[in-house]
Structure 1
């Protein structure tokens, strides 16, 4: 196993500008969750710079294209696009950058991936028997893997926590190095995933192509992500997230004191007759408010996902919850802590 020795990150106000691991020449792209994005109009081809608050207003039809006045309701309305100065857009530099991925799999990318291994006999019968299970498993194995920016990986984790109710699931952050010999698809794709994000590898990487770059609309909007096969990956490093000992001691202490001083008595929620409403408690309400207060300090496109990931449930240990929530916040507010932790991990060759 090889261990990397890294130069110090160049950091300005929590933003990682450039980082190089000299032992193998790998380059860390700029990491900035708050950065401005580029918009491109599908009608008039006007291109302009906006911040994330502008995009949030745009999605609510409160902004227009400066070139033609179009709003977001139109089919060819402006969409976020890549930064044309992103060096990762150069095909011969794609393999020089680190790429990232988050998952609950502790051994990603799994060498002998068997998606049918977790299926119960009952599930196999409902799927139509072993022949159909085998066909389904082959389809799962034919899906492309996805890697992207550090921001996209964290964004993906928060989205999965919210959408899949995985608040207490153990996630892992992977840093990925590609093989120097990879062949990159010349055409930049536009978010090729279906409604659940799946991409068939052979559809985006025909014979002779190893990596398909695409504009990511959903995680780190405007960022560059890659669809690829397992054979395109040279090595990975892994850390469990959120990281221990990265929490804000003062925030944790204040939050724990507030929660422990609050009643945990469950109060049935009231609502219109016949409508289901979740019971709550003063302590759970306070916990959600504390998580929402941290979410409010994040870029607007992450606030909803973070608030869901930081949800406090009655019966939880306040200190464990506060430490986890604060450490989750640190992944976004202080990326160098996660990068330093990755630096200390051995490479696992694929």
Structure 2
């Protein structure tokens, strides 16, 4: 099969969920109800009537007839991955990782050799387009990658791979941290698993490095789509500017007071006779509130039909970007949001552009 005829499987970013009951069957839950944690995060099982305390721990597969369960289809699918490495999977990954680990080892007190072995022997993880994009948002938030340059990869697997039967549940079985030696010990090249962290309920795969045949890549945000984003004037931008200016003025009145002392003043543990500490704290809280309102307005403007669960992940990721790059200008932030939002609102265009990129052979096919 030609590489440009890989099979796509798309769920979009406005999906619902299925939650597993103790009876062994699953029930549908909308993204809105999930986000609102209805009934104190409980829903009634559609089959036995028992209560299900829903959440990631009981995520069930969305489609029990997912084509990814067909071994012959695994190598026919286009799989996706996001990485901060511009040439993933990089042959220099181990050396670069070792340098980074050495910088942190003394400060954090761990063994470079043991950490390096764990990191560099992990299997490669691939998923749907949605899972790859959501993984990027999570990394921006949780792994200090807020300001990093990400790349989106479209992956072709080799035919004839050894595939473990069925799929593992990420909540119940070892899957997310699978290593190459563990795959070898199991006698397989590919392990399918139920993803409980990104695009929850879809099937991802952990694969041996040699299972990759070739990749296409594109930097995100996608420059071609960024040029198509129309200019807007979101409500709330001026409120952020005013709040920030007033906060800066209040902080300037405390220029001779340390941050530590300001915190004590805030909690009444240090005298604040002129009320300057309280005013500064109040102004800073107003900045936070105005930014939050502005972020919600941008989400309404640029992602009106996207799952509220995905929107939250998106907002947290972009908030990390703002902190990493020191962005305090609403206009600049708005531009970044509009560019990144195209990944979830225009996935067909992103995939089309990605599929037009040149293939780069991996491993023995290079």
Coarse TM-score class (shorter-chain normalised): 0.7 to 0.9
Q: Separation in 1 of the partners of 2:90 and 2:293?
A: 39
Q: Separation in 2 of the partners of 1:98 and 1:140?
A: 25
SS at match of 2:50: coil
**Contact 2:3 2:156 (8 Å CA) reproduced:** no
Q: Separation in 2 of the partners of 1:208 and 1:323?
A: 48
**Contact 2:156 2:213 (8 Å CA) reproduced:** yes
Number of aligned positions between the proteins:
324
Higher mean displacement: 265-274 or 100-109: 265-274
Could you tell me how far 1:308 is from its partner in structure 2? 1.9
Q: Pairwise mapping of residues 1-350 of structure 1 onto structure 2 (< 5 A)?
A: 24-41=4-21, 43-56=22-35, 57=37, 60-66=40-46, 67-72=48-53, 78-114=58-94, 115-120=97-102, 123=105, 132-191=111-170, 197-206=176-185, 208-247=187-226, 249-250=229-230, 252-255=231-234, 258-259=237-238, 262-263=241-242, 264-267=244-247, 272-273=267-268, 280=284, 286-295=290-299, 297=304, 298-311=306-319, 312=322, 316-350=328-362
Higher mean displacement: 119-128 or 60-69: 119-128
**Contact 2:241 2:330 (8 Å CA) reproduced:** no
SS at match of 1:81: coil
* 1:261-295 alpha-carbon deviations (Å, 9 max, x no partner): 94341516996446996963877754442322343
Give the structure with the larger helix fraction.
2
Q: Separation in 2 of the partners of 1:184 and 1:304?
A: 35
Q: Separation in 1 of the partners of 2:192 and 2:175?
A: 18
TM-score normalised by L of structure 1: 0.78
Q: Separation in 1 of the partners of 2:198 and 2:162?
A: 24
* 1:151-204 alpha-carbon deviations (Å, 9 max, x no partner): 111111111112234332211111111011211111311117999953223334
**Contact 2:123 2:208 (8 Å CA) reproduced:** yes
SS at match of 1:321: helix
Could you tell me how far 1:32 is from its partner in structure 2? 1.4
Q: Separation in 1 of the partners of 2:168 and 2:269?
A: 47
Larger radius of gyration: 2
CA RMSD of aligned residues (A): 3.7
Q: Which runs of 5+ in 1 are unaligned?
A: 1-20
**Contact 2:168 2:175 (8 Å CA) reproduced:** no
**Contact 2:20 2:52 (8 Å CA) reproduced:** no
- Cα distance, 1:235–1:89 mapped onto 2, change above 3 Å: same
TM-score normalised by L of structure 2: 0.75
SS at match of 2:75: helix
**Contact 1:266 1:281 (8 Å CA) reproduced:** no
Q: Separation in 2 of the partners of 1:68 and 1:207?
A: 39
Q: Which runs of 5+ in 2 are unaligned?
A: 252-262, 271-276
